[in-house]
Amino acid sequence: MSTQNTATTVKVNQKQALQLVTDLMRIPGKSGEEGKIAAEIVERLQKAGLPRKLISFDTANKKSPIGGESGNLIVKLPGTQKGPRRALMAHMDTVPLCVGAEPVKRGNLIHSKSSQTALGADDRSGCSVILNALLTILTENLSHPPLTFCWMVQEEIGLVGVRHLATSKLGKPKMCFNWDGKLVDQVCIGATGDSGMLIRIEGVASHAGAHPERGVSAAVIAGKAIEDLSENGWHGLVIKGRNTGSSNIGVLSGGAATNVVMPELIIKAEARSHNPRFRQKILDEFKKAFQRSVKSVKNSDGQRGTVSFESHLKYESFRLSEKEPAVQTAKLAIQKIGGLPELSIGNGGLDANWMVAHGFPTVTLGCGQQDIHTTEETLIIDEYLKACEIGLLLATATETD
C-alpha cells in the first residue's frame, strides 16, 4: 500500500517548470490549429502514468465557425481525499503572431528570439501552470480532491472553445481557477461583456464621372452615421451619467472601383459594458444613427439607400462576490506563498465569462504574461514560478495547511 504525499512536502521543481513552459511556447498553435499542442500535453500526461481513459476531448471545434483541429482537452480525476471538485484551466491557442517563436532567457524574462514574432506566453504559461500541477501530482503521488483540468481551444477569436464547452464532462466543479494574466497577486473576479454588430449598407451605384448625382454612396451614409455617433459620445469611450462602456468600428469593407459610387458597405463593430442594459443602449444608438443617416442621403431621383443591422452576444459580463469560495480559496493560496491578493475587474473577455455563464464560478489568476499580442511580449519568470506554486496548492487543496 503506497503512502500519499502532500503538496506541503513537495515543492515545485523550478527547473522542470521553466523547461516545460519553454517547450510549450515553441509549439505553434494559433486558434483552430491546436492539434500539436494538445498532442504534446496528452503525451506528457501518459508518460507520467495518467490512464488514457481519464483524458477526453469535446467537440467544440465542430461548433466553431472556423472548424479546427481539436476540441477542448479535458482530464477528470477522482479525488484521493474528500472535498468539492476543483477545475484548473487555461487556453492552448495563441495569436498568429506567435507562430515560429523561439523562446530565449534573458535575466528574469523569456523573450522571443526573433523581433518579428510574439512569444506565446499568452497562454502557454497558463497551460504550463496547470500541466505542471497535474504532472507533479502524478509523479509525486500527491493527495488531492476531485480535479478537472481543461485546456481550452479558440480563446483568442472570441472565447469560442469555452462557449461550446461540453460541460457534462467536467464533473460539476464547485470552484474554477483560470490562468491567463500577468501578476500572481491579481485575482480577477469579473469582466466586461461584449456584443458584436454587423451593419450592411446598400446604396445606389452609378458612374462616378458621368452621373455621380444618380448614385447613393454607402460610404457617405456610413460617414454621416459615424460622425453622429462620435459627436454624441457613442463611439470610443462611452460615459453617460453613471454608466460606462466602449464601442469600436473595427472593419469596413466595400466598393470595387474608384469610378463607381459605392453601392455597398459592410461594417463590423462592437459594444462593451459591464452593464448589459447599457451595452444594449449603445447598440440601440448605433442602429438609430445609421437609420437617421440613410434617410438623409438621396440621389437626384430621390432614391435612398437601405441599412440592415444585426447584433449578437460574444460573451456576457459577470462579477463574483468577494465571498465566493473560489475567490476566498484563491486569496488563501496567494497569501500562502507570501503574496498580497488584490481583487480586480477586467475590461476584456476571458474564458471565465463563459464558465460563469455555464454555472461555474471562475476566478482568473496571473502567470507572468507581459505585453501580450505584440513582438515585445515576455514571460516574467519569477511570476510564472509563483503561479506554478499557487497552481499546485490549489490542485492539492493545501492552501490552508
pLDDT at residue number 6: 64
- What nine digits make up the cell of 98? 506567435
Lowest model confidence (mean pLDDT) among 5-19, 108-122, 275-289: 5-19
Query: Does the global pTM surpass 0.85?
Result: yes
| Whole-angstrom distance, CA of residue 308 vs CA of residue 63 | 26
Query: Tens digits of per-residue pLDDT, 303-341?
Result: 999 999 999 999 999 999 999 999 999 999 999 999 999
Q: What is the mean pLDDT of residues 75-84?
A: 97
Whether 383 contacts 184, CB under 8 Å = yes
Query: pLDDT at residue 1 above 50?
Result: no
Q: According to the model, what pLDDT value does residue 185 have?
A: 97
Average pLDDT, the chain: 97
Q: Each residue of 359-373: pLDDT tens digit? A: 999 999 999 999 999
Residue 180, marked binder: yes
Q: Measure the N-to-C terminal CA separation of the chain; round to a whole number of Å.
A: 25
**9 exposure class (CB count in 10 Å sphere: 0-12, 13-18, 19+):** exposed
Q: Which domains does the chain have, with CATH numbers?
A: 14-190+317-396 (3.40.630.10), 193-315 (3.30.70.360)
Report the alpha-carbon angle 132-138-143, nearest 5.
105
d(CA 191, CA 74): 24
Residue 8 has pLDDT above 70, yes or no: no
Q: Which amino acid, 317?
A: S
Note if 324 is an active site residue. Answer: no
The full DSSP string for 232-252 is TT-SEEEEETTEEEEEEEEEE
The answer to whether 13 and 389 are in contact (CB under 8 A) is no
Share of the chain above pLDDT 90, in %: 97
pLDDT digits (tens, 9 = 90+) for 128-155: 999 999 999 999 999 999 999 999 999 9
User: Within 13 Å, how many C-alpha atoms sit on residue 113's CB side?
Assistant: 9
Note whether 60 and 71 are within 8 A (CB): yes
Burial of 373 (0-12, 13-18, 19+ CB in 10 A): middle
Amino acid at 256: A
The pLDDT value given to residue 377:
98
Q: What CA–CA distance (Å, rounded) separates 280 from 350? A: 20
Class of residue 244 by CB neighbours under 10 A (exposed 0-12, middle 13-18, buried 19+): middle
Residue 156 among known ligand-binding residues: yes
Query: Residue 193, by phi and psi: left (phi above 0), alpha (psi -120 to 50) or beta?
Result: beta
Mean pLDDT value of segment 103-122: 97
**Chain position carrying cell 474528500:** 82
pLDDT > 70: what percent of the chain? 98
pLDDT digits (tens, 9 = 90+) for 28-68: 999 999 999 999 999 999 999 999 999 999 999 999 999 99
Angle between helices 381-396 and 14-26 (to 10 degrees): 110
Q: Using CA atoms, how far apart are residues 144 and 82, in angstroms rounded to an integer?
A: 8
CA distance 161 to 90: 11
Report, in angstroms and rounded to the nearest whole number, the Rg of the chain calculated over CA atoms. 25
Question: Does residue 23 have a known ligand-binding role?
Answer: no
- pLDDT at residue 401 tops 90: no
CA gap 65, 43 in Å, rounded: 28
49 C-beta neighbours (distance < 10 Å), count? 10
Residue 301 DSSP one-character state: T
280 vs 100: CA distance, rounded Å? 40
The CA angle 100-104-107, to the nearest 5 degrees, is 150
pLDDT confidence of residue 126: 99
What is the bridge-based pairing of β-strands 186-191 and 342-346?
A: parallel
Partner residues linked to 253 by β-bridges: 266
- Beta-carbon contacts of 320 under 8 Å, excluding residues fewer than 6 positions away, are 189, 190, 326, 327, 356, 361, 362, 363
Candidates 40, 155, 270, 399; catalytic one = 155
- Alpha-carbon span 11 to 6, nearest angstrom: 10
